[in-house]
Amino acid sequence: MSVIDRVSAIVDPIIDDMGLELYDIEQAGPIMRVSVWGRADRNVTVDQLARLTRALSSALDEADPISAGYTLEVTSPGLERKLRLPRHHRDAIGADVNLKLVPRVEPRRLSGTLVAADDDGITVRDADLVEHRFGYDDIQTARTIFEWGPTPRPGGSESRRTKGSRSKPQRGEKSSSAERSTG
């Protein structure tokens, strides 16, 4: 049984009891990362993560499934999350994704919408509406893309004034003529 399998057997029931769902377990060097999200809405709060961290840390200390020293990291998968397992891809159908493919596959990089996923692979539709099918062994890395909206302009609605329009400074603001030192 692998370290991940041993850790999963310990943490899965605790995560379930807290009303959350295990997203992934990764070991990256000395980091043991456990990612969770809410069952229905996929949301998880900082308070839930803190309670879960304490519970998992205690259970893992007691069972001692990892022979080397490690740091436990309990997190949510985030808006832009890694897609490693077939279930991750199935959960992300309809999402925009970035793929980095193995050297033998062209194109090496592809962005598009994940339109299908099954036990054998995925289908991604690119910007030209061409669908590409890849087996999981063709994918080096995959992650969802979150499209951020336009960045609000500094000053909010004040910045929408037309060129040449002037208004009185708001409370706490200085006009250009009011910028003198009162020393």
- Find, among 38, 42, 31, 33, the residue nearest to 16 by Cα: 38
User: What DSSP designation does 155 have?
Assistant: T
Structure tokens at 72: 């436990």
- Look up the CATH number of domain 86-144: 2.30.30.100
At 135, give phi and psi (nearest 5°).
-80, 160
Q: What is the pLDDT of residue 134?
A: 97
Homologous superfamily in CATH for domain 3-75: RimP-like superfamily, N-terminal (3.30.300.70)
Nearest to 48 by CA among 12, 9, 15, 70: 15
pTM: 0.69
Give the per-residue pLDDT at 15: 96
* DSSP annotation of 80: S
Query: Would you kindly state where each structural domain of the chain is located, as residue ranges?
Result: 3-75, 86-144
Tens digit of pLDDT for each residue in 16-45? 999 999 999 999 889 999 999 887 777 889
